[in-house]
């Protein structure tokens, strides 16, 4: 039985150091084979016809002309029986989101611009697109609604037949908010809005599929092949054993690649029809409309505080858009947990609109919540004349109020705030002159937490060979975050095998064992203990072999840096000298994660600080510097850790300043479905002055590697810190994200009119 309750590491040799990625060369040189790079002999190229209207009923799809186009080998529409696959349907079916209305792969009722109508496979991508353009489709265009508040008004166009409100409001209640507000010296209320954002990963969504008889192999860009395998097998009516999904490399997902995509199933059906491999990758424009987003939210937040800074009540009423099919994003969690507050009421509703359904997006719901909660905390602190950092330190909770006040396994928010403030030079920066214009400066802080969940255990294998080299076999996908590197470090740490002597096989349902997709910042947190457990089993087997060979009790021996040493540190045997290992050529350890703590809750914490300058003549806002202090437990690899934080800060700048899906209220179409009009931050929008402060608390209770997850926490409070800095600079509370020059000029003008 693998050891799942290992002692915490003491001094480490590999873990926690700045170690370059094991696959860095492959990634930067272009030799890494991403799914979009896969070229198979005899491969066809597919393209999809999508609904050009915000909402429409498809009257007729005429494929005759498309079928005759040069190079076309197959066409597919809802008229084909094999394409009538249920989608967005009740739980259990492919793409399941618990939709009140069952839909199909090519459903005749299109509820958003970009919904799939037909597909073509041809010899070249150009021929496939020419054929798509030759499809004659007739629509009965229906009225559409793209604003969540409009969608809930009586007489609004119906997105879902059962109504545009998705289910009853979800409520979380603690104490009595009315009493809490009565006890408060200051009560503030504000409505905050966030915009819908698109994931925009470097590698666009898509698959390459091949049938070998009734065995389906898929190279798919996703966050975990096991998350794709099961729904794909269901869609194609195949046993799991006949569906192999491979995702050795992938170019980012941010949550948009956790689910099975229609494109994968369409490619699989076209490949079966033609008897040839099919490649189907979306265009950037398609990906803007059809493969997910971070939904917009409207958050009404009311808060009560006493003069001494004690919070008395928090009340959040949230409305979120879900798109045309349900995919819920809840925003309330931090309101109920981050700060000590006896009286809390959270009520959340969600509305269907005629737009692509949302998907998990880097810390689903949390950056939105921070935008509201952390600006409110800033406003409360000002009202009672307290420093915003002090105010947060006074109120942070050391127990999980959302789970019966269980303690956290470790809680470093105080350290994040104090160490971050020190690195930022917070006190001095607050007092510095803001300038007299047109550029004015300000600083802001925001805190946050993330709701890590480990999920079911994965199974990992570590093998040691007689020459002392090793292999690591795990199901986890590496999204570009450095997962492979971090996991290899664990093997190196336990077995003393240098990284360049470790071969890694990962993210392939045909050759590795089950793990949940990489999401929720849980991969290192949940899977590195399994890797450690597998390595420890290898160690135990090696020691048994050595004990037998040396005729010494196994308890007298230790495995250190690839050699067997006796008590007192005398080196006894090298791995290559183990006769038993030479005979069997390999020793395999199989690892799973030990049990999760039951009486405690695992949460990463963060505090971030921003300095901005705002041009009060043009409305421009620039981020000048950022400090990010994170308690994510033990730092596994300083370099990948820093990369995650810098990526999170960058996304936070997009959330705060530039990113917004714009929908046309008349046509129901997306107006900026391209990388020119949809603005993700570039190097010019991100300050060079970024400081990452790891609060390297080794969490000995969360798991055997002591780590809690960094990917999502890194982006949670960034936008709120920028908004608070904006307020400090201008004295204007900008409640609607993003902070665009137009918004800023409007608010400045309003203030001027008020005098």
Please report, as ranges, the residues that interact with ligand MOS according to CB under 6 A: 223, 253-255, 258, 360-362, 364, 519-520
Q: In the complex with ligand MOS, which residue's Cβ is closer, 54 or 328? A: 328
Neighbouring C-alpha atoms within 13 Å toward the C-beta of 195: 22
**Minimum gap (Å) between residue 479 Cβ and ligand MOS:** 8
Tell the smallest beta-carbon distance from residue 257 to ligand MOS (Å).
8
Q: How far is the CB of 153 from ligand MOS (least distance, A)?
A: 31
Min dist. Cβ of residue 485 to ligand MOS (A): 19
The pair of three-digit structure tokens given for residue 296, joined into one six-digit string: 């917009």
Listed in sequence order, the residues at least 6 apart from 286 whose beta carbon sits closer than 8 Å to its beta carbon are 48, 50, 114, 204
Residues 6+ apart with CB under 8 A from 715: 362, 363, 367, 647, 648, 649, 651, 652, 655
**Residue with smaller CB distance to ligand MOS, 257 or 728:** 257
- Cβ closest to ligand MOS, residue 362 vs residue 603: 362
Q: Give the helix/strand (H/E) hosting 314.
A: strand 311-323
Neighbouring CB atoms inside 10 A of 327's CB total 24
Name which of 35 and 227 has its Cβ closer to ligand MOS. 227
Please state, in angstroms and rounded to a whole number, the distance separating the CA atoms of residues 444 and 378.
Answer: 8
Residue (364 or 457) nearer to ligand MOS, CB: 364
Residue 362: Cβ within 10 Å count: 26
The contacts of residue 730 (CB under 8 Å, 6+ apart) are: 440, 442, 614, 616, 744, 748
Provide the token pair at 574.
């090298």
CB 325, min distance to ligand MOS, A = 18
| Closest distance of CB 249 from ligand MOS, Å | 16
To the nearest whole angstrom, how small is the minimum distance from the Cβ of residue 518 to ligand MOS? Answer: 7
Q: How far is the CB of 366 from ligand MOS (least distance, A)?
A: 10
Give dist(CA 623, CA 472) in Å, integer.
42
In this complex, which beta carbon is closest to ligand MOS, that of residue 248 or of residue 516?
A: 516
If 0-12 CB within 10 Å is exposed, 13-18 middle and 19+ buried, where does residue 50 land? buried
> What's the rounded Cα separation, in Å, for the pair 658 and 742?
11
CB-wise, 565 or 680, nearer to ligand MOS? 680
Pick the closer one to ligand MOS by CB: 235 or 258. Answer: 258
Q: Is the CB of 207 or the CB of 715 nearer to ligand MOS?
A: 715
Distances (CA, A) of 703 to 441, 534, 600, 719: 43, 14, 12, 31
- 21 Cβ partners below 8 Å, 6+ apart? 27, 482, 484, 485, 639, 640
Strands 689-694, 621-631: pairing kind: parallel
Give the residue closest to ligand MOS by C-beta.
255
- The CA–CA distances, whole Å, from 357 to 231, 321, 349, 361 equal 18, 9, 16, 12
Angle at the Cα of 151 from the Cα atoms of 149 and 155, rounded to 5 degrees: 120
Could you tell me the two tokens for 524?
């290192």
Of 177, 178, 183, 189, the C-alpha closest to 343 is 177
Task: Work out how close the CB of 18 gets to ligand MOS at its nearest, in angstroms, rounded to a whole number.
Answer: 25
Taking the complex as a whole, the smallest distance from the CB of residue 481 to ligand MOS amounts, in Å, to 10
Q: How far is the CB of 463 from ligand MOS (least distance, A)?
A: 30
CA 463 – CA 491 distance, rounded (Å):
10
Name the burial class of residue 427, with classes exposed (0-12), middle (13-18) and buried (19+) by CB atoms within 10 angstroms of its CB: exposed
Residue with Cβ nearer ligand MOS (291 or 360)? 360
Smallest separation, CB 203 to ligand MOS (Å): 14
Q: Confirm if 282 and 291 have CB atoms less than 8 A apart.
A: yes
Helices 262-274, 225-235: crossing angle, 10 deg rounding: 60
Q: How far is the CB of 362 from ligand MOS (least distance, A)?
A: 5
Task: Name which of 501 and 708 has its Cβ closer to ligand MOS.
Answer: 708
Q: What is the CA radius of gyration of the chain?
A: 27
Cβ closest to ligand MOS, residue 480 vs residue 681 = 480
Of 364 and 480, CB closest to ligand MOS: 364
**Counting Cβ atoms within 10 Å, is residue 695 exposed (0-12), middle (13-18) or buried (19+)?**
buried
């Amino acid at each position: 039985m693998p050891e799942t309750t290992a002692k915490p590491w003491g001094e480490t040799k590999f873990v926690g150091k700045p170690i370059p990625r094991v696959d860095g060369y492959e990634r930067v040189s272009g030799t890494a084979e991403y799914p979009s790079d896969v070229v198979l002999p005899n491969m066809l190229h597919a393209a999809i016809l999508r609904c050009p209207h915000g909402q429409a009923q498809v009257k007729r799809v005429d494929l005759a002309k498309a079928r005759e186009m040069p190079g076309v080998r197959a066409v597919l529409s809802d008229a084909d029986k094999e394409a009538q696959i249920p989608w967005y349907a009740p739980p259990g079916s492919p793409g399941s989101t618990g939709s009140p209305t069952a839909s199909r792969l090519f459903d005749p009722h299109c509820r958003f611009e970009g919904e799939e109508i037909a597909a073509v496979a041809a010899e070249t991508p150009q021929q496939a697109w020419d054929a798509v353009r030759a499809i004659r489709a007739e629509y009965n265009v229906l009225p559409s609604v793209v604003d969540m508040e409009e969608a809930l008004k009586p007489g609004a166009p119906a997105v879902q037949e059962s109504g545009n409100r998705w289910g009853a409001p979800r409520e979380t209640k603690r104490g009595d908010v009315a009493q809490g507000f009565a006890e408060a010296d200051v009560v503030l209320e504000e409505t905050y809005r966030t915009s819908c954002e698109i994931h925009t990963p470097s590698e666009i969504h898509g698959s390459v599929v091949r049938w070998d008889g009734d065995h389906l192999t898929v190279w798919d860009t996703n966050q975990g092949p096991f998350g794709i395998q099961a729904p794909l097998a269901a869609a194609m009516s195949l046993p799991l054993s006949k569906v192999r999904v491979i995702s050795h490399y992938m170019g980012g997902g941010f949550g948009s690649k956790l689910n099975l995509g229609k494109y994968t199933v369409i490619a699989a059906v076209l490949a079966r029809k033609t008897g040839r491999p099919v490649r189907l990758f979306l265009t950037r424009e398609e990906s803007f409309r059809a493969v997910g987003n971070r939904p917009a939210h409207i958050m009404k937040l009311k808060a009560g505080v006493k003069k001494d800074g004690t919070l008395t009540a928090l009340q959040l009423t949230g409305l979120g858009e879900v798109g045309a099919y349900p995919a819920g994003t809840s925003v309330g969690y931090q309101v109920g947990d981050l700060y000590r507050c006896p009286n809390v009421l959270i009520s959340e509703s969600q509305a269907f609109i005629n737009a692509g359904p949302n998907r998990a997006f880097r810390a689903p719901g949390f950056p939105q919540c921070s935008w509201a909660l952390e600006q409110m905390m800033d406003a409360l602190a000002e009202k009672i004349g307290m420093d915003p950092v002090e105010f947060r330190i006074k109120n942070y909770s050391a127990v999980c109020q959302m789970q019966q006040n269980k303690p956290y396994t470790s809680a470093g928010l105080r350290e994040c705030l104090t160490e971050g403030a020190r690195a930022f030079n917070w006190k001095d920066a607050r007092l510095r002159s803001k300038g007299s214009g047109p550029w004015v400066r300000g600083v802001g802080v925001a805190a946050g937490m993330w709701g890590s969940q480990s999920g079911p255990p994965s199974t990992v294998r570590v093998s040691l060979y007689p020459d002392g080299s090793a292999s690591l076999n795990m199901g986890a996908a590496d999204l570009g975050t450095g997962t492979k590197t971090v996991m290899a470090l664990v093997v190196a740490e336990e077995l003393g095998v240098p990284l360049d002597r470790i071969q890694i096989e990962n993210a392939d349902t045909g050759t590795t064992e089950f793990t949940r997709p990489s999401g929720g910042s849980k991969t290192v947190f949940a899977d590195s203990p399994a890797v450690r457990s597998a390595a420890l089993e290898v160690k135990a087997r090696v020691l048994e072999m050595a004990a037998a060979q040396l005729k010494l009790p196994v308890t007298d021996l230790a495995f250190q840096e690839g050699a067997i040493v006796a008590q007192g540190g005398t080196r006894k045997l090298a791995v290559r000298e183990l006769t038993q290992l030479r005979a069997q050529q390999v020793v395999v350890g199989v690892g799973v994660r030990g049990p999760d703590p039951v009486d405690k809750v695992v949460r990463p914490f963060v505090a971030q600080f921003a300095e901005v300058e705002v041009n009060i003549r043009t409305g421009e806002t620039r981020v000048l510097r950022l400090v990010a202090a994170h308690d994510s437990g033990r730092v596994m690899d300083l370099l990948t850790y820093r990369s995650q934080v810098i990526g999170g800060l960058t996304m936070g700048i997009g959330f705060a300043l530039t990113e917004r899906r714009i929908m046309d209220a008349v046509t129901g179409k997306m107006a900026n479905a391209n990388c020119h009009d949809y603005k993700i931050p570039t190097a010019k929008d991100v300050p060079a002055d970024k400081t990452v402060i790891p609060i390297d608390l080794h969490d000995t209770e969360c798991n055997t590697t002591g780590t809690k997850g960094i990917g999502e926490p890194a982006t949670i409070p960034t936008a709120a810190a920028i908004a608070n800095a904006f307020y400090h600079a201008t004295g204007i509370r900008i409640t609607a994200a993003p902070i665009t020059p137009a918004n800023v000029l409007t608010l400045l003008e309003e203030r001027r009119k008020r005098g």
